[in-house]
Amino acid sequence: MNLPPVHIAIMQPAGYVHSLGFLDQARYFRYQFRRMGATVTISKNRLREDAVNFVFGAHLGFPAEWTRRHACVFVNLEQLGHGGAKVSADYLNLLRRNAVCDYDADNIPAYLDPAGDAADIPLVPFAHAPYLQGETSAPLESRPIDLLFFGSMNPRRRAFLDQVEAAGFSVSAFDSPVYGAERDAFIRQAKAVVNCHFYETSRFEQARAFQCLSLGTPVISERTERTRPGPAFEDAVFWLDTKDPAAFFRQQFNTPAFFDAARGKLAAFTRYDPIEAYADLLAFAAGFHQAHGKTRGTEPWRPARVNLGSGKDYKPGWLNIDILERAEPDLVLDLGQPVPLPLDAPTCRGGHVRLEAGSLELVYANNVLEHVPDLPLLMTNVLALLKEGGQFMIEVPYEHSPTAWQDPTHLRALNENSWLYYTDWFWYLGWFDHRFEIAEFKWLDLQLKPCAKEQAAFMKLSLRKIPTTLRERTLARTMRADFGGIESDDFWGEDIPADEVAPSEAASI
């Protein structure tokens, strides 16, 4: 099989910490695909045009138009259907119209196209992750945490955990979200992790349990009549009686028999290998990637929206430009330097982009302009790129706020008069046919909420590109060092040989 590169993208809205919870499953996918010889990369919010993209967390927001340029397989980890997670219609439509893989067959009816076949949706379980066995954990009997719970809390889970604690054991939980290696360190210190269902659908949380079991920590879980955990977990998890879940803790937990049974269950978990399911998924993805390549076309991307920045400010679906490669932009470009237009350039993730004069609808710069050495040149380039009516949305620190100079890379402070050269005095910058006007202006406080000028920490404004008027162009010719350009004096725009000119005309010339 000719394997395409595989790229795993985790969607994370700005500042949304819970997207870190997808790292466990993303690493597991990477492990399985690498076993079969695939080249795999992982990133946040970014897709590759030269790879098949497995997308985690698309329910948090995903630009549907991205699927035209990128081959995407959406990984659904949400419990869907009646009694499950409340997801948007946009997310269900995204699953319905695109390639999907799932961990539980009971989710599929919620998004299956009426003309579709559920058998066409690849199902992949989570199971033993050998890469998590690197550290030697303490023996179960000597671990300092009796029971650990992690995950979102709701009344259903709270009631369940109250029953457990009524049996005489304290359940430890985090007082703020913790993920990755920092959370895993606590899992390794627990005698067991308690699992209970968040939704009435009661689908087994295998995406969480596999991590704990692979780390060498037993899992004790609720199980209802609707819970179908899959073969890897049947003999690997301690299942509780739903009629009296606390009985297990009163009678069995923290006894020599429990620890002996736990070691047997952890050993059983290591024996299940879902390699065939992931091989089938990779074959499915390779075929999908090949078919997508035939329909996506070869034309370069002509974006309508540009974000001047990347890193944590990356905007999915936009062209993200940054001067720093380590910020992982779509395009490394400095608009504070001369930029010939049109510009054709390869992107950082296997695509090609074309920027043309008068092509953009929107440019966004969040706390960028205070860093730019040649701000007039950047403003000139943005003006050239925007179409008439296009807007340049800007957020910058206000000069009288401590935010103005707190960053050592700040080169300037700005106030409400900092925009006059781009609106009223445009001729100083060599502009003639177009200028900016202020379409919107707000003062923002430290929490980025609108406020009075006296409480302002930031300015937020929108500059709209407009054509200059006849009066403004006349004023520009008057005020500029030159005349703003003089039309050619060629005869009717052509060079006419002297012997073709009538004598009277030649005399006047």
Indicate the average pLDDT of the chain: 92
On whether the CB atoms of residues 121 and 112 are closer than 8 A, the answer is: yes
Same domain membership, residue 402 and residue 326: yes
Per residue in 229-275, pLDDT (tens digit) is 889 999 999 999 878 888 899 999 999 999 999 999 999 999 999 99
Domain presence at residue 508 = no
Domain presence at residue 286 = yes
Q: Distance between CA atoms of 237 and 127, rounded to whole angstroms? A: 12
Same domain membership, residue 286 and residue 337: no
Domain presence at residue 495 = no
262, 295, 328 — which closes off a domain? 295
CATH number at residue 173: 3.40.50.2000
Same domain membership, residue 113 and residue 45: yes
Domain presence at residue 221 = yes
Same domain membership, residue 182 and residue 66: no
Q: Which residue has the higher pLDDT, 497 or 468?
A: 468
Structure tokens belonging to residue 430: 């060599």
Q: Which residue has the higher pLDDT, 433 or 246?
A: 433
Same domain membership, residue 434 and residue 322: yes
Same domain membership, residue 413 and residue 320: yes
Q: What is the pTM of this model?
A: 0.88
Domain presence at residue 467 = yes
Same domain membership, residue 100 and residue 239: no
CATH number at residue 458: 3.40.50.150
Structure tokens belonging to residue 209: 């349990």
Question: Which pLDDT score, from 0 to 100, does residue 506 have?
Answer: 37
Same domain membership, residue 471 and residue 330: yes
**pLDDT at residue 151 tops 90:** no
Same domain membership, residue 316 and residue 251: no
Domain presence at residue 385 = yes
**pLDDT at residue 41 tops 80:** yes
Show the domain range for 114. 6-124+274-295
Q: Distance between CA atoms of 175 and 150, rounded to whole angstroms? A: 10
Helix 23-35 to helix 206-214 angle, to the nearest 10 degrees? 70
Chain length of the chain: 509
Structure tokens belonging to residue 278: 């992931």
**pLDDT at residue 498 tops 80:** no
Per residue in 305-363, pLDDT (tens digit) is 999 999 889 999 999 999 999 999 999 999 999 999 999 999 999 999 999 999 999 99
Question: Which pLDDT score, from 0 to 100, does residue 36 have?
Answer: 95
Q: Which residue has the higher pLDDT, 152 or 277?
A: 277
Same domain membership, residue 175 and residue 209: yes
Per residue in 348-407, pLDDT (tens digit) is 999 999 999 999 999 999 999 999 999 999 999 999 999 999 999 999 999 988 888 888
In the chain, the percentage of residues whose pLDDT exceeds 90 is 77
Domain presence at residue 69 = yes
- Count structural domains, the chain: 3
On whether the CB atoms of residues 196 and 158 are closer than 8 A, the answer is: no
In the chain, the percentage of residues whose pLDDT exceeds 70 is 95
Same domain membership, residue 203 and residue 96: no
Q: Distance between CA atoms of 308 and 371, rounded to whole angstroms? A: 12
403: which DSSP letter? G
Give strand pairing partners of 386.
Answer: 360
Q: Shortest CA distance to 210 belongs to which of 231, 226, 241, 191?
A: 231
Mean pLDDT, range 43-63, rounded to an integer: 96
Domain presence at residue 458 = yes
CATH number at residue 53: 3.40.50
**pLDDT at residue 114 tops 80:** yes
Mean pLDDT, range 37-54, rounded to an integer: 97
Question: pLDDT confidence of 456, banded at 50, 70, 90?
Answer: very high
Same domain membership, residue 463 and residue 314: yes
